[in-house]
Structure 1
């Protein structure tokens, strides 16, 4: 069933949960995967100024497109950078001149704009049965649920306090459980001295233009693989996240808007941004707000947070990167418990398609990689 796009009156009490969900989503994104951008910059031999420009362009682009799409369609359309794309770039950036890499980013972004305008991808998304989509989503998110408890072997005190705190808060005030876990974790980390923000000095990022160059080598080794990886690894699961939580927003404007944004930001270093998948699930379900029509506030809040990080470039992004990986994985897993449970319930709810959905879930959770 599709969620209606009615604009409901917003009260101050409606703001806390979507904003906290957005903050957790942003923390998980920067703290969990943004290290790939730093690794890619190092592999390419980029200067600190070029690295800061990459962070500026991708953060600003993600923030603006996500906020606009969420406001325009009154749905929590969370955008993010292409994580599998960033991982892929680490392997190819050392062998391709940076100007040609920028040209490849432009060609990849143009491909998304054309695909969005064609409407083909939306037709593919609508062909996927709800049970299969839910099984796929549950399989993608399962690793994060497991990691919420797996970190206990590394830091049993931190994980134990967070899990126990979540259980107690869920019992007495389920509405504020994840808010309490976030505050509890930050205070514990500061008390144990595991994080120290005093050495981080904020400075404004300056965008740095790189003139794009085009070559057949960059087209074949960067542009096309980046396009395919982002489409299958980000756009497809990202749209299924929205569908699974009842939002029927078409993929066409999302592809077009993020593609245009990537096109504009590419000369400043942005590799690709798209609709988010894993971190979006934190903002699209009941944990963000009981009323689906008010969850778009999380999309607006995400946009604001991303833009703030982009303004200060690498200095503010470092704040998230220095958070312990165990804290990030436990926080993400607890925040995604509702999404994992809801996806499994949907996947296994239809008796006739249960086995197919179960196979989809298990195959996705197995995380098999073929041909690179």
Structure 2
């Protein structure tokens, strides 16, 4: 099959635009942004980013994934949906701030992005990531997500009325339209914040987009504790499933060029505080499914429209971050936790699916979730190391039997 990434955009592609594609693209962008931007802010803040730097990172990610989706979708005439790495942001939120602060994190973002670019061009690296046992990769992700997913319960303990209202909204809306459950919880949270926080205390200058260039600092601890786990989580939990969603919907793009493209846009966003963009999975199903258009050849416009709205949302990143920063942290963490419950459930199922690898997966999960840190290296890396050791021993034992 001809590489679709290399094909030029045919003349007259505007004729493929449709109302269903526009609706699907708008919904995908709204769900993608509203359901997880709190996770992004939480992750960047945990890495030492100031409010202004977190806003800059959110804006850079939004614009990067929007432009990447527009370019790839028009170039391939396939619905190539792009998202920021929500599991990667959850990893950052669960990792202790590195010595050296946010510049060290930005250095790690650049290294991780470079590895994604290389993984697309150099097949051995891509195969090495794909060769990481799925139970271990899922267990590491589950361990990373657990802390944030406990936040809704903690919110009820700290602010019972507000926490219960947010959770009740999420649960009730999920009964009718699951994709809108987290955005509905976000709307309720915003209303609570507006009623309880002195919005006038927010400096007007913080509401406008203000890209901030962060000079990176490269350290061994940042490489091992942030860059490598971020690379693995982004590839294993986002890029590879993103290709799978496209394949399920009968699209067959060449994976390598898509991986490299997302890595390149991640590189461009990293100096401004963006951690990673990648192929989307959940919102990809919205853009690649029949609801986007009965004709599969015209669905790519859904991903293009989503990309346009991501760019527009990015221009409002300053206002979103300023508003969120004025709120009680536990409420934002609660919304982030609700947004990640589905990912946690999927990761746990993938980790525990095979009885023969369950012990190694549990070790990976427990060590990762413990928050263990040695030599400034986060628990996600040590969880993968510990689980990998148990996995190797169990394979050796079975082969020697």
Contact kept? 2:136, 2:351, Cα under 8 Å: yes
Of 326-335 and 22-31, deviating more is 22-31
Q: Measure the CA separation in 1 of the matches of 2:221 and 2:163.
A: 38
- Give the match for residue 21 of structure 1: 31
Q: Measure the CA separation in 2 of the matches of 1:342 and 1:105.
A: 26
Given the superposition, is the C-alpha separation of residues 369 and 350 from structure 1 closer, same or farther in structure 2, using an over 3 Å criterion?
same
- Give the match for residue 97 of structure 1: none
Given the superposition, is the C-alpha separation of residues 93 and 69 from structure 1 closer, same or farther in structure 2, using an over 3 Å criterion?
same
Given the superposition, is the C-alpha separation of residues 139 and 102 from structure 1 closer, same or farther in structure 2, using an over 3 Å criterion?
closer
Q: Measure the CA separation in 2 of the matches of 1:74 and 1:161.
A: 36
Question: What are the residue-to-residue correspondences of 1:1-372 with 2, within 5 Å?
Answer: 10=20, 14=24, 17-35=27-45, 39-40=48-49, 57=60, 60-65=63-68, 68=71, 74-79=79-84, 84=92, 87-88=97-98, 90-91=100-101, 93=103, 113-171=117-175, 174=178, 176-190=180-194, 192-194=195-197, 196=199, 199=202, 201=204, 205=209, 222=218, 228-242=224-238, 243=240, 246-247=244-245, 252-253=256-257, 256-261=260-265, 264=268, 269-270=271-272, 273-275=275-277, 283=282, 291=289, 303-304=307-308, 307-308=311-312, 310-311=314-315, 314=318, 317-372=321-376
Q: Measure the CA separation in 2 of the matches of 1:332 and 1:103.
A: 25
- Give the match for residue 11 of structure 2: none
CA-to-partner distance for each residue in 1:248-287, whole Å, 9 max, x for gaps?
7877445532443355567xx435642469xx77x4698x
Contact kept? 1:30, 1:321, Cα under 8 Å: no
Secondary structure, in 3 states, of the residue corresponding to 1:260? helix
Displacement after TM superposition at 1:123 (Å): 0.8
Secondary structure, in 3 states, of the residue corresponding to 1:241? helix
CA-to-partner distance for each residue in 1:57-110, whole Å, 9 max, x for gaps?
56533543355457756354323597649944743859xxxxxx9999878866
Unpaired segments ≥5 residues, structure 1:
1-6, 43-47, 95-100, 213-217
Q: Measure the CA separation in 1 of the matches of 2:24 and 2:64.
A: 27
Q: Measure the CA separation in 2 of the matches of 1:254 and 1:232.
A: 20
Given the superposition, is the C-alpha separation of residues 252 and 369 from structure 1 closer, same or farther in structure 2, using an over 3 Å criterion?
farther
CA-to-partner distance for each residue in 1:175-195, whole Å, 9 max, x for gaps?
6433432333322333x3236
Given the superposition, is the C-alpha separation of residues 298 and 361 from structure 1 closer, same or farther in structure 2, using an over 3 Å criterion?
farther
Secondary structure, in 3 states, of the residue corresponding to 2:276? strand
Q: Measure the CA separation in 2 of the matches of 1:196 and 1:63.
A: 29
Secondary structure, in 3 states, of the residue corresponding to 2:204? coil
Displacement after TM superposition at 1:152 (Å): 2.1
Q: Measure the CA separation in 1 of the matches of 2:339 and 2:131.
A: 29
What is the alpha-carbon root mean square deviation over aligned residues? 4.8
Secondary structure, in 3 states, of the residue corresponding to 1:148? helix
CA-to-partner distance for each residue in 1:114-169, whole Å, 9 max, x for gaps?
45422333111211233333222222222221112112232221111122233333
Of 121-130 and 111-120, deviating more is 111-120
Q: Measure the CA separation in 2 of the matches of 1:175 and 1:91.
A: 35
TM-score by length of 2: 0.63
Unpaired segments ≥5 residues, structure 2:
1-15, 248-252, 293-298, 377-401
Contact kept? 2:39, 2:333, Cα under 8 Å: no
Displacement after TM superposition at 1:343 (Å): 2.2
Displacement after TM superposition at 1:365 (Å): 1.9
- Larger RCO (CA within 8 A; separation ≥ 6): 1
Displacement after TM superposition at 1:237 (Å): 0.8
Q: Measure the CA separation in 2 of the matches of 1:107 and 1:137.
A: 20
CA-to-partner distance for each residue in 1:311-343, whole Å, 9 max, x for gaps?
467455423433432222111222222222222
TM-score by length of 1: 0.67
Secondary structure, in 3 states, of the residue corresponding to 1:133? helix
